[in-house]
Structure 1
Amino acid sequence: MSRVAIVEDHPRLADMVARALAAVGIEADLFLSISEASYGLRQGDYAVLIVDRGLPDGDGLAFLRALRAAGQTAPCLMLTARDALHDRVEGLESGADDYVTKPFAMSELVARVRTLMRRPVALTALVESYGGLSVDPAHREMRCGSFSVVLAPAELQIMLCLVRAGGRTVRHAMLEHAAWGLGEAVTPNALEVTVHRLRKKLAVLDTRVRLRNQRGVGFALEETIER
Structure 2
Amino acid sequence: MSRILLIEDHERLAQLICKGLAGAGIAVDMVSRVDAAWAAIQQLPYQAMILDRGLPDGDGLTLLQKLRRAGQGLPCLVLTARDALHDRVEGLDAGADDYLAKPFAMDEMVARVKALLRRPVVLNALDPSYGGLTLRPDTGVLWHGENSVALSPAEMQIMLLFLRNQEDVVRRSALEAAAWGLSEAVTPNALDVALHRIRRKLIAIGSRYKIVNVRGHGYALREHAGAQ
Structure 2 length as normaliser, TM-score?
Answer: 0.70
Match for residue 214 of structure 1?
A: 214
Structure 1 residue 213, shift from structure 2 partner: 1.3
* Match among 34, 51, 62 for residue 68 of structure 1: 62
Structure 1, residues 151-200: CA drift from partner, whole Å, max 9, x if none?
A: 11111111000000011111111111111112211122221221111101
Structure 1, residues 75-120: CA drift from partner, whole Å, max 9, x if none?
A: 4601569998645313124x343215646466631133x41xx44x
Q: Distance in 2 between matches of 1:69 and 1:142?
A: 33
Structure 1 unmatched runs, 5+: 21-27, 53-59
Determine which structure has greater relative contact order: mean sequence separation of CA pairs < 8 Å that are 6+ residues apart, divided by chain length.
Answer: 1
Cα 1:200–1:144 change in 2 (3 A) is same
Residues 128, 135 of structure 1: 8 Å contact kept? yes
Structure 1, residues 100-145: CA drift from partner, whole Å, max 9, x if none?
A: 5646466631133x41xx44xxxx4431111110111111121112
Amino acid at match of 1:109: L
Match for residue 205 of structure 1?
A: 205
Please state whether the residue corresponding to 2:54 is helix, strand or coil: helix
Residues 143, 149 of structure 1: 8 Å contact kept? yes
Q: Distance in 2 between matches of 1:173 and 1:99?
A: 32
Q: Distance in 2 between matches of 1:218 and 1:144?
A: 24
Q: Distance in 2 between matches of 1:70 and 1:88?
A: 14
Match for residue 109 of structure 1?
A: 116
Structure 1, residues 9-37: CA drift from partner, whole Å, max 9, x if none?
A: 433442256x36xxxxxxx5333xxxx43
Please state whether the residue corresponding to 2:50 is helix, strand or coil: strand
Residues 135, 160 of structure 1: 8 Å contact kept? yes
Please state whether the residue corresponding to 1:187 is helix, strand or coil: coil
Residues 53, 61 of structure 2: 8 Å contact kept? no
Match for residue 196 of structure 1?
A: 196
* Match among 13, 16, 21 for residue 14 of structure 1: 21
Match for residue 11 of structure 2?
A: none
Cα 1:190–1:214 change in 2 (3 A) is same
Amino acid at match of 2:50: V
Structure 2 unmatched runs, 5+: 8-13, 101-107
